[in-house]
Structure 1
Amino acid sequence: MLTYVRWYWPNDDLWNYEELDADRWALRHVELRGSDGVFLAAASLAEVLTARDSGTVGAVAEYERRYGVVPEAPLPPPTDALEPALESVSPGEFERLWRDARRQLEQQTGI
């Protein structure tokens, strides 16, 4: 079962949106700068793995330059005192943000 959450990182003024699997690994990740609404990332774990397995030197680096980085560890359990406050978001809200972020990032890189 997938869950969708968001959390705010005040030091960087970033809203982070995650599509999480049952083990709390991010399958898709969106970063949105709070001050101006600019998307900084819209990365997919499946796409990163495809790039890694492509055999092309630098494919992952190119993907990450274009779409950002997917978190490389599961989010901590909800009881962890260091975890930022997570808020649930609907699957529909996440999909809308995902589409908007991908469109913006692809326009920036000329895809």
Structure 2
Amino acid sequence: MTRWFRSYWAEEDTWFYCEVDTDGQVTRQAELRGPLEKPIAAASQIEWEAAQRAGTLTDYETTFGATAEVPVQEWEAHEPQDLTAPQFETVWRTARAACQARARARPPHET
């Protein structure tokens, strides 16, 4: 069963919003940093794996970041708060749009 939660990491002043599959693996993750909760990442594990296979991982991570590789059980120290699917989707869409806007604003790669 899919689960959604958010967890605050004070040492990074970051909220992590996670979608987790039945096996406890993070499938999508959004990160909001600072007092204004600025979106800094919105990564999908499926997209990350596809970018890795395609040789475009650096571009993907520059735009969207990456999902957590640590087991969800290690998040317990950060007191995760359960979310509903709609709550997660709202944050996901907002963070995703911010990441895409930043990517469009970056100068093109020089060859």
Normalised to the residue count of structure 1, the TM-score between the two structures is 0.87
Contact 2:14 2:37 in 1 (8 A): no
Residue equivalent to 2:27: 27
User: Partner amino acid for 2:87?
Assistant: E
> What root-mean-square deviation, in Å, do the aligned CA atoms of Structure 1 and Structure 2 show?
1.6
Q: In the aligned structure 1, how far is the partner of 2:24 from the partner of 2:14?
A: 20
Q: In the aligned structure 2, how far is the partner of 1:74 from the partner of 1:26?
A: 8
Residue equivalent to 2:4: 4
Q: In the aligned structure 1, how far is the partner of 2:86 from the partner of 2:34?
A: 20
1:94 to 80, 88, 99: 88
Q: Give 5+ residue unaligned stretches, structure 2.
A: 106-111
Q: Give 5+ residue unaligned stretches, structure 1.
A: none
State the 4+ residue runs in structure 1 displaced beyond 2 angstroms.
none
Residue-pair matches, total: 105
Q: Percent identity?
A: 30
Structure with bigger helix share is 2
